[in-house]
Amino acid sequence: MSRHSDKAREALMDAAEELFAIHGIDGVSNRKITEHAGTANHSAIKYHFGTRDDLLNALIRRAITEVSEFREALPVSEDLDGGLREVVTHRVLPWIYYLAAQPEPFCRAQFLYQVRGYPGLSGIGAEMLRGDELQADLVGRTRHELRGIPASVLRARAGILGYMVLGISAEFERQVAEGEHAATWEELGYFLVDSIVGMVAAPSTAKSEFLDFGGPSRG
């Protein structure tokens, strides 16, 4: 792919992400995206990506790739003896550092929160946005620390965390963009880590076999 084509593709992705964050995924036409990206070719989405779902998955893959780079830079152990706080930190902070590094307009967290439950999202992108990796870590790596909490409860709590991290990040991003918040992204990240550790480790007092917060919305 030529450098010009790469730039055109990135411009379309940036335009789509901003418009999706503001108007919702179903509230934006391909024509609006191409116009916002500054191209007169209204079939550019089809040319560069294929379908609308292909565009969404390309946006998610871009995010996942960049988050993985931040995760690799974290000095956190990957061994199976990692404690709960270490596991949560390793999964949550890279997302926060990634969002903190985004240029204006501040819209990526808001887009990711919207797309998290979108029916067309598939594959590893959907799994990571839903918190499947965190779910696997909580059930597999921290059982020694969370004895007494059923695996079904941990899976349900991990499903909640996907909404929690992206939802709070999206609201924080909006407030920062509007000048309403003086806190830093890093402060938000450690607030989330503290909150998640407390929630995950809380005693279980009710049956939860019916709870499933991991999949896409079924509205």
CB neighbours (10 Å) of residue 15?
19
Instruction: Identify whether 23 is part of a domain.
Output: yes
pLDDT confidence band for 121 (50 / 70 / 90): low
In 3D, which of 125, 127, 157, 160 has the Cα closest to residue 142? 157
Give, rounded to a whole angstrom, the gap between the first and last alpha carbons of the chain. 39
23, 88 contact by CB (below 8 A): no
Please tell me the total count of domains within the chain: 2
Please enumerate in sequence order all residues whose Cβ is within 8 A of that of 60, keeping only pairs 6 or more positions apart, or say none. Answer: 112, 115, 121, 125, 126, 128, 129
pLDDT digits (tens, 9 = 90+) for 200-217: 899 888 765 556 655 544
- Mark whether 98 and 151 lie in a shared domain: yes
Amino acid symbol at 46: K
Give the span between the Cα atoms of 124 and 217, in whole angstroms: 17
- Mark whether 1 and 85 lie in a shared domain: no
Name the residue range of residue 29's domain. 1-50
pLDDT digits (tens, 9 = 90+) for 61-114: 999 899 989 988 887 555 545 688 988 898 899 999 999 999 888 899 999 988
**CATH at 10:** 1.10.10
- Mark whether 6 and 72 lie in a shared domain: no
173 burial type by CB count under 10 A (0-12 exposed, 13-18 middle, 19+ buried): buried
**pTM score, two decimals?**
0.83
In 3D, which of 215, 107, 218 has the Cα closest to residue 166? 107
- Given a cut of 90, whether residue 20 has pLDDT beyond it is yes
- Mark whether 18 and 81 lie in a shared domain: no
